Structure 1
């Protein structure tokens, strides 16, 4: 564990050097927060109670959404993009010589990235939104704790998805097309555009059952106290996807490693 903690710590320090990029990102998320608020206020004015949310829930969703986009990695993350590039160029062979499992190594790097983004970038949009709008906040300590756990689980689910996309480069010439397609799925099914509770019928059921829902929608619903299966049910939903994705990632790593050896990489 000491090795992986050291990797995560160094990753945290690495991302802390990009102060201008972080400040620019905070500004961008804040601006988009106001843009989305204008859209959501119009939509909820036309359809009050849409998806079971009142106006305060909808506006709170916007600011939580903007704060979590980068920590969770809804648009992808530089860590797993770097991994995909190393697979594409063949530099991944160097990673396989390290005294650590490939997935654990990159999970530690991503954990450091996510921790920095969450601590420095995550709360500012919510703070700005709270100064301008009447937002909804958790009423009980267990809700705060559940939200913290759900955000952690959401980051792990996101990493599991992004890691599998990065490893696809072992079987295809270039994984960038898969990365772009995965980002579109992430935007649509995570709640980064609209809360999944407003999706109708079968498409809504599919969206709310997908792993992307566990990255953004579930943590925000826990914050709002809107989980249909209760707090425990929401966390078990996330945990189930974590197990599925990390086991899949572990198996894919094993198969990919054998492929590199066979090809003499």
Structure 2
């Protein structure tokens, strides 16, 4: 089997693996939908008081909410995912087995994450968006090209999210317990991705800075692509922003992996 075939098989197996968790998927859909209504009504009140806050009208702001709920599982905006398993394999020493596989450690986990994300988007992301579009007047685009650009932005968001969490997972090579790193990663993602509020609502220099951080590529940028706030060259610039962060973080992860695997330490026995 070729390397590309191997990684495709890993992704497909990951998709099938998560497809077996039907109860968890249904619970995720319910939770995302309920949380979407809470945020939507909060945004509705906020944008009634402050029309065009952050450059969005109320319909766009509500659309932003439901885009976030559709992406929350696929992009792991609230953390979780493969890095917990990776941390456990480092702690127990099972990562040594992974290193003997005829596959690159980073590419193996990236392939697995792409399979997981694909299922989460289909199984957990579509339903909340449909419910939101029925309950509220959303500003969804009619141009199919915009949807294609959004899907590209979404894939890049998944890669950026993976690359950040891969670094968190590798921290287990140096930390006895990865729970603290996971918690910090989740808080940063929640706050700086735009999950709580669009980053365009952040004031002054602080707002300018957070919009250049990698977490912005996980939700803010894909949402703005779908809302057609980036058009023409602007849309390609938004995708380039995500791609640059994806490449930079993957390279950083590869460097960290190289350093970590030179000194594999079995923690706890």
| Both structures adopt the same fold (TM-score exceeding 0.5) | yes
Aligned length: 264
Q: Does 1:215 align with 2:218?
A: yes
Q: Which segment is superposed worse, 168-177 or 206-215? A: 168-177
For residue 25 of structure 2, what is the aligned residue in structure 1?
22
CA distance in 2 between partners of 1:110 and 1:152 (Å): 11
Structure 2, gaps ≥5 residues long:
none
For residue 40 of structure 1, what is the aligned residue in structure 2?
43
SS at match of 1:72: coil
Against the structure 1 CA distance between its residues 261 and 88, is the aligned structure 2 distance closer, same or farther, given a 3 Å change threshold? closer
Measured against aligned partners, the alpha-carbon deviations of 1:102-135 in whole angstroms (never above 9, x if no partner) come to 0011111111100100111111111001111111
Contact 2:173 2:265 in 1 (8 A): no
Measured against aligned partners, the alpha-carbon deviations of 1:54-94 in whole angstroms (never above 9, x if no partner) come to 00001001111111011001112322211112112222111
Q: Does 1:65 align with 2:68?
A: yes
Against the structure 1 CA distance between its residues 198 and 117, is the aligned structure 2 distance closer, same or farther, given a 3 Å change threshold? same
Which structure carries more helix by proportion? 1
For residue 205 of structure 2, what is the aligned residue in structure 1?
202
- RMSD after superposition: 1.6
For residue 142 of structure 1, what is the aligned residue in structure 2?
145
2:9 to 6, 9, 13: 6
The alpha-carbon deviation at position 30 of structure 1 amounts to 0.5
Q: Does 1:175 align with 2:178?
A: yes
For residue 262 of structure 2, what is the aligned residue in structure 1?
258
For residue 109 of structure 1, what is the aligned residue in structure 2?
112
Q: Which segment is superposed worse, 14-23 or 69-78? A: 69-78
Contact 2:91 2:266 in 1 (8 A): no
For residue 56 of structure 1, what is the aligned residue in structure 2?
59
TM-score, with structure 2 as normaliser: 0.95
Measured against aligned partners, the alpha-carbon deviations of 1:161-204 in whole angstroms (never above 9, x if no partner) come to 00001001112222210110011000000011111110111211
For residue 93 of structure 1, what is the aligned residue in structure 2?
96
The alpha-carbon deviation at position 262 of structure 1 amounts to 11
TM-score, with structure 1 as normaliser: 0.96
CA distance in 2 between partners of 1:231 and 1:57 (Å): 17
SS at match of 2:229: coil
